[in-house]
Chains A and B, each alone.
Chain A
Amino acid sequence: KAGVTQTPRYLIKTRGQQVTLSCSPISGHRSVSWYQQTPGQGLQFLFEYFSETQRNKGNFPGRFSGRQFSNSRSEMNVSTLELGDSALYLCASSLQLEDGQYFGPGTRLTVL
Chain B
Amino acid sequence: AQSVAQPEDQVNVAEGNPLTVKCTYSVSGNPYLFWYVQYPNRGLQFLLKYITGDNLVKGSYGFEAEFNKSQTSFHLKKPSALVSDSALYFCAVRDNAGKSTFGDGTTLTVKP
Please list the residues of chain A having a beta carbon within 8 angstroms of any beta carbon in chain B.
31, 33, 35, 42-43, 45, 48, 50, 55-56, 58, 90, 92, 97-106
Contact = CB atoms under 8 A, between A and B. Distances in A.
Main secondary structure of the interface of A (DSSP, over half): strand
Contact of B100 (A42, A48, A106): A48
B104 interface: yes
Interface of B: 32, 34, 36, 43-49, 51, 90, 94-105
A98 B97 contact: no
Given A42-B105, A90-B44, A99 B98 contact: no
Contacts of B104: 42
Contact of B49 (A92, A99, A103): A99
A98 B105 CA distance: 21
Contacts of A58: 99
6 contacts: A42-B104, A58-B99, A90-B43, A97-B32, A98-B32, A101-B46
Contacts of B96: 97
Contacts of A90: 43-44
Contacts of B90: 43
Contact of B97 (A35, A55, A99, A105): A55
Task: Report, nearest first, the 5 A-B pairs whose CB atoms are least far apart.
Answer: A100-B46, A48-B98, A43-B102, A103-B44, A56-B99
